[in-house]
Amino acid sequence: MDEQEVRSRAQLWLTDHFDEHTRNEVQRMLDHDANELKESFYTDLEFGTGGLRGIMGVGTNRVNVYTIGLASLGLAKYVRKNGNQTSPSLAIAHDSRNNSPLFARKAAEIFASQGIKVYLFSALRPTPELSFAVRHLKCDGGVVITASHNPKEYNGYKVYWNDGAQVIPPHDKGIIEEVRQARIEDLDFNSNHELIQLIDKEVDEPYLHAVMNQQLAPEVVKEQHDLKIVYTALHGTGITLIPEVLSRMGFTQVRCVPQQDIPDGNFPTVDSPNPEEREALSRGLEMCREWDADLLLGTDPDTDRVGLAVKNHKGDFVLLNGNQAGSLLVFYHLIKWHEQGRLNGKQFIAKTIVTTELIRRISSDFGTKTYDTLTGFKYIAGLIADLEGKEEFITGGEESYGYLIGDFVRDKDAVCSAALFCEMAAWARSKGQTLFDVLMHIYKSFGHFQEDLVSITKKGISGKEEIAAMMTRLRSETPRELDGSPVILARDYQKGEERNLVTGHVTPIELPASNVLQFETANGSVVTARPSGTEPKIKFYFSVREPITEQFEYDASLEKLTGRIQRLKEVWSS
């Protein structure tokens, strides 16, 4: 799009359909800031299969009340056609980000203008509670205003259908089409406010009750009630429910990081509110050392992901990655389900294609199936829905610190996960162990797996083109060797096929098409290339493993695997 086209698009935002602040900001960019004008108006902010996410500001390529309004108008029209025809309803929640309450209210007003009943949380709430609310209130769908763990400049709009899961086909495509047809002049923020009902405790209580029902060993928690737990909400929504659920479980020694208790969209104490990053949990780790705590929990702003730190064999606190924490969660559940006589071959575990294969080895040992899905929790939720009434979901998750326990929520749930991690730690302590000890037992029993990733951001207009070129090159030039071992399998999830490079045999992949490439070597190493669907970045996932040995020694094995991953990262990030 050339400069004149961008200016023409921007000038449309000088009409009376827009508020005075917006008009003034557009005029400022037209007069003084050509670069910002281009980035703000060169395209429409893409409403993807999960909704919107982007930088907040004025313009068609920014998150603001008008782009939120258009998304809401499109969703409302789709619901009117495909939802409850007599009394359609939607639920809305928001996180602690700047403008999140405003965007949530504006979305509610648009829905109400279309004759849709709205259940709007009166204050910030975790994303999993919105998923629960959709199901509990029997809504046609829902929205969460959040940008997850992105920097403070971002916000977003996640859409859920009536099963409490983020939308998948055919609803995602149908909603996108309606959003594309929505017009600014049709936005009405001022009618039918009587259709908006504020909610809080009437959903909080049944949700917390459902979380409590997921406990597997409440008697152990009672015995180990003085387990020392440090929790940080990272200025997000977790502070509303996680301390409460831990208290109800019976834990008496829970301390929150006071500087990070306060919801704040500027995230003043962290560079990024991402529990995957050590810096974000540094204050919590400091409190753990001072108090000699047993474990640390940290959740992202919308509380769908949780990070975990435990003491290692040297007494030092270490952060577990998402694959390690997920493997512990699966192992604990299968042990307890086995002890309770609940496994009969009709249960399953779910994970994504970039999540550790260690989970499959664990579940196989218990005679339990593991299913793979594409990356994104909506696919795990879709799998649960497909198998409902035939097979029972136990637990599962993805490497990016997102886990689900039971099926009363249909999205990753850091509230319930945090509760079960604490119960796991109490169970290990009752046996004179730590969660790190349990992890070492898993490695000795099933093999030592190590995973990591490289995320490369390509900003601006040219970013998407560069990422597309990377994927095109990888498709045409399949690597022949990785990690000193020949590549034997190449999976193209866009084409839906797995090629055996040794025999030439091609096997269909029974998953929806997705722009993902995966390469597996003879020694079990796996490299996956996956462009983000919501951000201008591409991620490369690496997995290496060591076989089971009687002489397993963690430090030596870790050093070896870390070296192998580092060599892979150097090649793939260059």
Residue 192's pLDDT band, with cuts at 50, 70 and 90, is confident
**Catalytic residue ranges:** 148
Say if residue 462's pLDDT is above 80: no
Per-residue pLDDT, averaged over 260-285, amounts to 96
Higher pLDDT, 542 or 468: 542
Q: Which letter does DSSP use for residue 371 in this model?
A: E
Query: How far apart, in whole angstroms, are the C-alpha atoms of residue 326 and residue 454?
Result: 20
Residue 549's pLDDT band, with cuts at 50, 70 and 90, is confident
**For 387-516, where are the E strands, in sequence order?**
392-398, 402-405, 448-457, 481-482, 485-492, 497-500, 506-508
- Going from the C-alpha of 109 to that of each of 133, 194, 447, the distances in angstroms are 19, 10, 54
Query: How far apart, in whole angstroms, are the C-alpha atoms of residue 330 and residue 363?
Result: 7
Sheet strands side by side (includes 369-373): 369-373, 347-352, 392-398, 402-405
Question: How high is the pLDDT of residue 535?
Answer: 65
Cα-Cα-Cα-Cα dihedral sign, residues 564, 566, 568, 571:
negative
Say if residue 534's pLDDT is above 60: no
Q: What is the pLDDT of residues 135-175, one digit of tens each?
A: 999 999 999 999 998 999 999 999 999 999 999 889 999 99
Say if residue 460's pLDDT is above 80: no
Up-side HSE of residue 337: CA atoms within 13 Å toward CB? 25
Question: Cis omega before residue 151 (within 30°)?
Answer: no
Question: How high is the pLDDT of residue 47?
Answer: 84
Least confident of 190-199, 349-358, 492-501: 190-199
- Nearest C-alpha neighbor of 158 from the set 182, 188, 126: 126
Per-residue pLDDT, averaged over 250-278, amounts to 96
Question: How high is the pLDDT of residue 213?
Answer: 98
Question: How high is the pLDDT of residue 533?
Answer: 64
Percent of the chain whose predicted confidence (pLDDT) is above 90: 91
Residue 251's pLDDT band, with cuts at 50, 70 and 90, is very high
* Token pair belonging to 399: 């490497």
Say if residue 436's pLDDT is above 90: yes
Query: How far apart, in whole angstroms, are the C-alpha atoms of residue 232 and residue 274?
Result: 11
> Structural domains in the chain?
43-199 (3.40.120.10), 208-446 (3.40.120.10), 448-572 (3.30.310)
DSSP codes of every residue in 121-137: ESS---HHHHHHHHHHT
The pTM assigned to this predicted structure is 0.94
Average pLDDT, the chain: 95
Residue 126 near residue 304 (C-beta atoms within 8 A): yes
Query: How far apart, in whole angstroms, are the C-alpha atoms of residue 142 and residue 178?
Result: 16
Least confident of 48-57, 245-254, 430-439: 48-57
Residue 363 near residue 394 (C-beta atoms within 8 A): no
DSSP 3-state of 280: helix
Question: How high is the pLDDT of residue 169?
Answer: 86
Locus of tokens 């910030």: 124
Helices (H), 83-155: 100-113, 127-136
Q: What is the pLDDT of residues 110-120, one digit of tens each?
A: 999 999 999 99
Percent of the chain whose predicted confidence (pLDDT) is above 70: 99
Locus of tokens 């594409």: 374
